[in-house]
Structure 1
Amino acid sequence: MPQSVNGVQGRSVPEKPLHQLVTEAVQSRATPISQLLRLMWRLDAEGGANEGLRAQLRARIGAPLQA
Structure 2
Amino acid sequence: LIHVIRDSQKGIIIGHKGEKLKKTGTEARLDIEEFFGRKVFLEMYVKVTKDWRDKPRELKRFGYR
Per the normalisation by structure 1, the TM-score is 0.33
The answer to which structure has the higher strand fraction is 2
Larger radius of gyration: 1
Q: TM-score, normalised by structure 2?
A: 0.34
